[in-house]
Amino acid sequence: MLTGEKIIIENGKPKVPNNPIIPFIEGDGIGPDIWRATQLALEGAVQKAYKGKRRIAWKEIFAGEKAYKMTGNWLPNETLQAIREYVVAIKGPLTTPVGGGIRSINVAMRQLLDLYACIRPVRYFGGVPSPLKNPEKLNVVIFRENTEDVYAGIEWASYTPEAERVRNFLVNEMKVTIREGSAIGIKPMSPFASKRLARMALNYTKARGRKTVTLMHKGNIMKFTEGAFRQWCYEVAENEFGEDTVLESKLKEMGGKVPPGKILVNDRIADAMFQMVLLRPEEYSVIITPNLDGDFLSDACAAQVGGLGMAPGANVGDTAACFEATHGSAPIHAGKDKANPTSLILSGVMMLEYLGWNEAAKLIINGIEKTISQKTVTYDLERQMSGAKLLKCSEYAGQIVANMG
Ligand code: NAD
């Protein structure tokens, strides 16, 4: 391991030394292959951009199968502690243990580290096979709430004493009708979690110069949860970002035009939103959504631009951030040096942007754009592109580095 210094959070922002220590989890299945490729691309870009003035001191930490083999624990405490201590981490996909005591390592990490926003930028890279005629029109960044909603896992199985107890309370005290033997799940949504997500997304929108923020929800039906989510997010836009935003509902008074420099804030019902990203994708830019809606929308959008292998992700809180591939560990391709590393490499790009190392981030984007436009790609894209040249995972990363300059 190279020597380095810790990133710290100062006044709510990361303060990054020139040689930050960054923990990584290589991940299970295809994880080691795509991690090696990612490391190559990140180091190549940092070297090219800063000529040795900046470099990353990697520190391996463990989770998933590798951790279980070493310690008997899928998610050791030391791993969580390291992410807290070093603020920024990057991880490959982890296989979910079947029948183990832990529901999902990924979900556990998000909850235990309070990484409350799942950020997924989805854009098109020219030449990637897509089912759409104009996939390049979609360029959105989805901010999905990560800690609440039915996704929080507060649920009781059918006919258990716990479910019966909850049902008895609801039927007898709250006077609602619930069928006998029902499984019951709880959908908590708080002003605290909704507002901090909106705050992060609006700050991001301002910093990136994006022009539209859309609140996606199912508040017409779930009025007191998703409807309230909508309301709380609007309150943040109006009360905390009033100078920067204009609400769609007020546009008429302004002659229907968004004043220059202002961010348009609107909301859409979740089912309509799924149509919108297909039919009028260019009208959407930053999308803020509750947990479950966001899970569905992220994958649907990724499919529009060529699938999960191409979409990056980050789980970000106020004191730590973990950047990760959005696909799973694809165990059937493990160790074959054939998987597509783009999702993890692009997650690395998000990490560089979080550090403020935008020059290196741009170099990688250029490298990916050029490599794909040259039709030199991994198997998953090669089999769908005519005249493409098949590269191994490591060769593809090497090509990205060669194409950066
Ligand atoms: P998966 O994403 O691992 O694989 C589904 C299929 O997609 C694979 O068979 C493969 O053909 C293709 N694929 C996925 N990533 C690819 C890549 N980078 N390059 C080329 N092809 C790729 O989904 P799964 O099979 O449902 O899950 C496998 C394991 O991963 C499970 O244990 C699951 O729980 C876990 N998982 C982890 C994460 C995460 O760590 N964030 C996310 C999803 C699933």
Q: How far is the CA of 187 from the centre of ligand 1 (A)?
A: 27
The per-residue pLDDT for 30 is 97
Q: How far apart are CA 310 and CA 340, in angstroms?
A: 8
The single-letter DSSP state of residue 173 is I
- The helix (run of H) or strand (run of E) holding residue 288 is strand 286-289
The per-residue pLDDT for 100 is 57
Q: How far is the CA of 43 from the centre of ligand 1 (A)?
A: 25
The CA–CA distances, whole Å, from 253 to 211, 215, 243, 247, 258 equal: 19, 21, 17, 11, 11
CATH topology of domain 1-119+308-405: Isopropylmalate Dehydrogenase (3.40.718)
Q: How far apart are CA 360 and CA 197, in angstroms?
A: 27
Q: How far is the CA of 34 from the centre of ligand 1 (A)?
A: 12
The CA–CA distances, whole Å, from 374 to 121, 216, 368, 387 equal: 23, 37, 10, 10
The residue whose C-alpha atom lies closest to atom 43 belonging to ligand 1 is 328
* Encoded tokens for 247: 């609400």
Q: How far apart are CA 217 and CA 189, in angstroms?
A: 12
The per-residue pLDDT for 215 is 98
The per-residue pLDDT for 171 is 97
The candidate with the shortest Cα–Cα distance to 44, out of 55, 60, 33, is 55
With 0.85 as the threshold, say if the pTM is over it.
yes
Q: Mean pLDDT of residues grouped by 10 in the chain (405 residues)?
A: 87 94 97 97 97 96 94 94 97 82 80 95 92 94 96 92 97 97 97 98 96 97 97 98 95 88 97 96 98 94 86 95 93 95 97 97 97 95 92 97 92
Ligand 1 atom nearest the C-alpha of 327 is 2
Angle between helices 77-86 and 105-112 (to 10 degrees): 50
Q: Which residues contact 165 (CB under 8 A, 6 or more apart)?
A: none
The residue whose C-alpha atom lies closest to atom 23 belonging to ligand 1 is 328
The residue whose C-alpha atom lies closest to atom 1 belonging to ligand 1 is 328
Q: How many CB atoms lie within 10 A of CB 200?
A: 19
Whether the CB-CB separation of 293 and 148 falls below 8 Å is answered with no
The per-residue pLDDT for 104 is 81
Q: Where along the chain do the CATH 3.40.718.10 domains lie?
A: 1-119+308-405, 131-146+189-304
Q: How far apart are CA 26 and CA 272, in angstroms?
A: 38
Active site residue 338: no
Ligand 1 atom nearest the C-alpha of 343 is 18
Which residue is catalytic, options 151, 284, 354, 379? 151
Ligand 1 atom nearest the C-alpha of 325 is 41
Q: How far is the CA of 369 from the centre of ligand 1 (A)?
A: 24
**Which three-class secondary structure state does DSSP give residue 119?**
strand
Whether the CB-CB separation of 33 and 336 falls below 8 Å is answered with yes
Q: How far apart are CA 305 and CA 297, in angstroms?
A: 13
* Dihedral over Cα of 86, 80, 40, 383: its sign: negative
In 70-228, where do the E strands start and end? 88-91, 117-123, 139-145, 155-156, 184-185, 212-217
Angle at 123 between CA 148 and CA 91, to 5 degrees: 55
DSSP state letters, 37-105: HHHHHHHHHHHHHHTTSS--EEEE---THHHHHHHS-SS-HHHHHHHHHHSEEEE---PPPTTSS-S-H
The residue whose C-alpha atom lies closest to atom 40 belonging to ligand 1 is 93
Active site residue 33: no
Active site residue 28: no
Specify the CATH number of the domain 131-146+189-304: 3.40.718.10
Q: How far is the CA of 330 from the centre of ligand 1 (A)?
A: 4
Find tokens 């220059």 and name the residue: 260
The CA–CA distances, whole Å, from 350 to 148, 330, 365 equal: 24, 23, 11
Give the pocket of ligand 1 (CB within 6 Å).
Answer: 30, 34, 93-96, 106, 309, 324, 327-330, 332, 339-340, 343, 380
The residue whose C-alpha atom lies closest to atom 26 belonging to ligand 1 is 328
The candidate with the shortest Cα–Cα distance to 267, out of 319, 193, 209, 212, is 212
